[in-house]
């Protein structure tokens, strides 16, 4: 049984302790409110660059030392950056948690940020940018965001551009960390089996003396603007995204109801789009739906991988299902979606890494935690009428966007495809 509590340090640092003494491992992470959404066009990619640089050595440990010490305890350590946060995390046996935590805290507070390492990392990240340009899924998603959220840093590539990466200096990295890597923008989240006194003591050692800066975390915002955009690339298969203006995460019920719309559209092998486009008509290789919620904005996206010759018919069928969706949702559809969504949540709840991350995000977004039972109850209470109403609100064909990558049709042709329900 998990026992969860939150510790608030005087300087604004928050620690989430989600303990389960029946386990033999502990997962933890340090979440920092530093991501591409908080950057400027000139500093784009800085948050991601710092994530890489912190593993290149500290005042006490070289990059090799960091790797060897983690290998010695059999632990896993990694990090990732999104538009709103950077997350450094580890998963290890309970007895090795203090060592793993000491390593993560060390890299966040004592990174050397050597000029030579910065120049080496520029090459690594420029290769990463090139790799994304060669991925249909990544290129399509990035292009979609860049257009529908134009003018917002939520639309920017998390990696930055070759130009902004090339212009990064040690001074810029240090300046960014002084502003963003401050206690009130950090959440340390533990899940699994660990000694509370020990982990709190290590956090106090590294972060307790940091000063509260008063730098308020203002969530990045964006205004959705419908767009049709194409990118010509010599890919074997085309990648398409159809998008709609979504919802803010500030309304939990509405955001969760949109998850049901997404799941019924294309959340599993029995979903409406999967069954029609792939199983019955063989028009696509893959089709998925995602509901993405930010502070004041969001998008619901349908993405598919398919051939050039299948696009017109696939889009026509998709538009037909979207148009009919509020009228064709059945109680069985809702029941299946509930089991799909609740099962996914419960299975994630039994994974300590997922719990640590989820708890940190909840504090980051809402400032509080919701018990597993309360969330399951909330999910199971959503009705078919709520889902229909939500679908009518989101699936507005007047606000539809499309991004196509590969050997594409023209923008005018796609506009035509989006106005027809039969081919």
Looking at residue 423, its pLDDT comes to: 59
Looking at residue 218, its pLDDT comes to: 82
The CA-atom distances, in angstroms, between 327 and each of 275, 313, 323, 331, 419 are: 18, 22, 9, 12, 19
Q: Which CATH number fits domain 3-207: 3.40.50.300, 1.10.10.10, 3.30.830.10, 3.40.50.2300?
A: 3.30.830.10
Query: 264-293 pLDDT, tens per residue?
Result: 999 888 899 999 999 999 999 999 999 999
**Domain-by-domain residue ranges, the chain?**
3-207, 228-417
SS (H, E, C) the chain: CCEEEEEECCCCCEEEEEECCCCCEEEEEEEECCCHHHCCCCCCCHHHHHHHHCCCEECCCEHHHHHHHHHHCCCEEEEEECCCCEEEEEEEEHHHHHHHHHHHHHHHHCECCCHHHHHHHHHHHHHHHHHHHCCHHHHHHHHHHHHHCCCCHHHCCCCCCHHHHHCCCHHHHHHHHHHHCCHHHEEEEEEECCCHHHHHHHHHHHHCCCCCCCCCCCCCCCCCCCCEEEEECCCCCEEEEEEEECCECCCHHHHHHHHHHHHHHHCCCCCHHHHHHHHHCCCCCEEEEEEEEECCCEEEEEEEEECHHHHHHHHHHHHHHHHHHHHHCCHHHHHHHHHHHHHHHHHHHCCHHHHHHHHHHHHHHHCCCCCHHHHHHHHHHCCHHHHHHHHHHHCCHHHCEEEEEECCCCHHHHHHHCCCCCC
Per-residue pLDDT of the chain (423 residues; tens, 9 = 90+): 678 999 999 999 999 999 999 999 999 999 999 999 999 999 999 999 999 999 999 999 999 999 999 999 998 999 999 999 999 999 999 999 999 999 999 999 999 999 999 999 999 999 999 998 899 999 999 999 999 999 999 999 999 999 999 999 999 999 999 999 999 999 999 999 999 999 999 999 999 999 999 887 788 999 999 999 999 999 989 999 999 999 999 999 999 999 999 999 998 888 999 999 999 999 999 999 999 999 989 999 999 999 999 999 999 999 999 999 999 999 999 999 999 999 999 999 999 999 999 999 999 999 999 999 999 999 999 999 999 999 999 999 999 999 999 999 999 999 999 987 665
Cα(218)–Cα(175) distance, rounded to whole angstroms? 18
Query: 195-222 pLDDT, tens per residue?
Result: 999 999 999 999 999 999 988 778 899 9
Q: Which CATH number fits domain 228-417: 3.30.420.40, 1.10.150.120, 3.30.1330.10, 3.30.830.10?
A: 3.30.830.10
Fold match, 3-207 / 228-417? yes
């Amino acid at each position: 049984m998990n026992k969860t509590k939150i510790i608030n340090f005087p300087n604004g640092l928050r620690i989430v302790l989600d303990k389960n003494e029946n386990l033999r491992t502990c997962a933890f992470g340090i979440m920092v409110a530093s991501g591409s959404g908080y950057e400027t066009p000139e500093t784009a990619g800085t948050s991601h660059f710092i994530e890489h640089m912190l593993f290149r050595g500290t005042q006490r440990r070289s990059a090799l030392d960091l790797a060897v010490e983690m290998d010695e305890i059999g632990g896993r350590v990694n990090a990732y950056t999104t538009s709103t946060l950077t997350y450094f995390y580890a998963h290890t046996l309970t007895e090795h948690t203090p060592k793993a935590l000491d390593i993560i805290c060390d890299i966040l507070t004592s990174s050397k940020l050597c000029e030579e390492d910065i120049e080496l990392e520029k090459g690594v990240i420029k290769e990463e940018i090139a790799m994304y340009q060669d991925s249909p899924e990544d290129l399509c998603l990035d292009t979609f965001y860049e257009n529908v959220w134009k003018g917002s840093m939520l639309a920017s590539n998390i990696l930055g551009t070759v130009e902004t990466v090339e212009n990064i200096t040690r001074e810029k990295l240090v300046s960014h960390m002084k502003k963003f890597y401050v206690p009130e923008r950090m959440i340390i989240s533990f899940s699994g089996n660990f000694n509370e006194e020990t982990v709190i003591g290590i956090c106090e050692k590294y972060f307790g003396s940091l000063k509260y800066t008063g730098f308020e975390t203002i969530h990045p915002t964006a205004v959705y603007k419908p767009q049709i955009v194409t990118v010509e690339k010599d890919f074997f298969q085309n990648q398409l995204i159809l998008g709609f203006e979504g919802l803010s995460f500030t309304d939990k019920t509405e955001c969760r109801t949109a998850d049901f719309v997404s799941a019924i559209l294309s959340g599993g092998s029995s979903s409406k789009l999967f069954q029609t486009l792939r199983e019955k008509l063989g028009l696509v290789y893959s089709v998925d739906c995602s509901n993405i919620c930010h502070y004041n904005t969001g998008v619901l996206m349908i993405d598919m991988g398919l051939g050039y010759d299948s696009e017109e018919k696939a889009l026509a069928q998709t538009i037909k299902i979207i148009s009919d969706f509020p009228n064709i949702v059945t109680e069985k559809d809702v029941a299946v979606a509930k089991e799909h969504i609740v099962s996914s949540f419960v299975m994630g709840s039994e994974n300590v890494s997922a719990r640590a991350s989820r708890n940190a995000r909840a504090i980051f977004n809402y400032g509080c935690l919701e018990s597993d039972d309360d969330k399951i109850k909330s999910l199971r209470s959503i009705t078919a009428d709520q889902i229909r109403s939500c679908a009518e609100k989101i699936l507005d064909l007047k606000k539809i966007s499309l991004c196509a990558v590969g050997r594409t049709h023209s923008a005018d042709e796609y506009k035509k495809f989006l106005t027809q329900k039969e081919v």
